[in-house]
């Protein structure tokens, strides 16, 4: 058995009016086998969040809402990293409840390989889940992502480096602060939703930062799904253009294809740009809502 890590680390969370999900995340973090030195929470446009019950030292950062109402996810993650006082960072999505050994496993794997180490998500349904039953209840109430079941090693096995940088998500990952700085953090040219995490991993690859997938597990809380994500239409189009200009490739091609098929944009995979034909209405967004874990 590999020895546990002895390094201090910070857990970083960004949140905007997700108090219930955040409270569940904090419950999970407090029962971790390896607790962080601090929990850094960046609130986006939420000056009066609900108080949190935690034995872990809290550091709260407040960012004002943008004028457009768009959540500046890249800027918020960078603010969390800048506020952290340790040399090791775990980014955790506000919707994710960490398994009891998530932090322990991520730190052990980071010691083993370095670079970016991503945890594996399991998805909880809207039916609910037993927070008082620990990992056992959360495992029973969740399912893996169909496209990610083979990425992580068996529990207890060390990770290996991968070239699948396009499969990196910012849902939950560990990185040394020095490597985060080498990557340059998240590019704040990406505003709002979509593209910024793929850009982050592509920059990591360009700068020689290893990527691996860990057996560390996180449970993603259900929050409703819009397929395609029409509520983020403007952000996805804008961030796709930023990404294409930077890398010469289109990100989020599944969503762009769906937008094109529905007549919202004129776009093909070999296009040089995106022509917006119409914006989705509130009714369009409502009709795109589906009951699915992801």
What pTM was estimated for this model as a whole?
A: 0.95
C-alpha distance from residue 93 to each of 71, 168, 271, 293 (Å): 14, 13, 33, 16
Domain residue ranges of the chain, discontinuous segments joined by +: 10-223, 226-290
Residue closest to 36 by CA, chosen among 115, 100, 93, 90: 90
Confidence class for position 196, pLDDT limits 50, 70, 90? very high
DSSP summary character for residue 152: S
Give me the pLDDT at residue 144, please.
93
Q: What is the pLDDT of residue 67?
A: 67
pLDDT at 5: 82
Q: In the structure, what pLDDT confidence band is assigned to residue 225 with cuts at 50, 70 and 90?
A: confident
Least confident of 88-102, 150-164, 267-281: 150-164
Tell me which residue of 73, 146, 135 sits closest to 292, measured CA to CA.
Answer: 146
- For residue range 5-27, list pLDDT tens digits in order: 889 999 999 999 999 999 999 99
Q: Centre a 10 Å sphere on the Cβ of residue 233 and count the other Cβ atoms it contains.
A: 23
Quick one: DSSP state of residue 158?
P
pLDDT (mean) for 18-40: 97
pLDDT at 71: 82
Torsion of CA 124, 130, 134, 136, to 10 degrees: -70
Most confident listed range (59-73, 109-123, 144-158): 109-123
pLDDT at 88 over 80: yes
Which CATH code for domain 10-223?
A: 3.90.550.10
């Amino acid at each position: 058995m590999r020895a546990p890590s002895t390094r201090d680390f910070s857990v970083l969370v960004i949140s905007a009016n997700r108090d219930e999900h955040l409270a569940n995340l904090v419950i999970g973090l407090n029962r971790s086998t390896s607790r962080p030195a601090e929990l850094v929470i960046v609130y986006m446009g939420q000056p009066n969040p609900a108080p949190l019950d935690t034995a872990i030292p809290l550091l709260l950062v407040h960012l004002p809402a943008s004028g457009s109402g768009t959540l500046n996810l890249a800027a918020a993650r960078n603010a969390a990293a800048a506020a952290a006082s340790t040399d090791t960072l775990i980014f955790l999505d506000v919707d994710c409840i960490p398994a009891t050994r998530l932090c322990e496993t991520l730190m052990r794997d980071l010691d083993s390989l370095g670079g970016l180490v991503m945890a594996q998500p399991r998805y909880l349904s809207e039916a609910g889940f037993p927070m008082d039953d620990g990992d056992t209840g959360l495992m029973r109430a969740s399912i893996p992502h169909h496209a990610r079941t083979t990425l992580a090693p068996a529990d207890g096995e060390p990770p290996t480096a991968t070239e699948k940088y396009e499969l990196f998500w910012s849902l939950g990952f560990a990185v040394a602060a020095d490597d985060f700085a080498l990557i340059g953090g998240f590019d704040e040219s990406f505003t709002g939703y979509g593209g910024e995490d793929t850009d982050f991993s592509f920059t990591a690859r360009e700068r020689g930062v290893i990527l691996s997938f860990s057996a560390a597990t996180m449970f993603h809380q259900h929050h409703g799904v819009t397929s395609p994500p029409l509520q983020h239409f403007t952000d996805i189009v804008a961030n796709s253009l930023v990404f294409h200009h930077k890398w010469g490739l289109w990100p989020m091609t599944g969503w762009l294809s769906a937008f094109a098929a529905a007549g919202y944009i004129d776009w093909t995979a070999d296009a040089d740009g995106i022509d917006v034909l119409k914006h989705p209405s509130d009714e369009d967004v409502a009709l795109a809502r589906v009951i699915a874990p992801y």
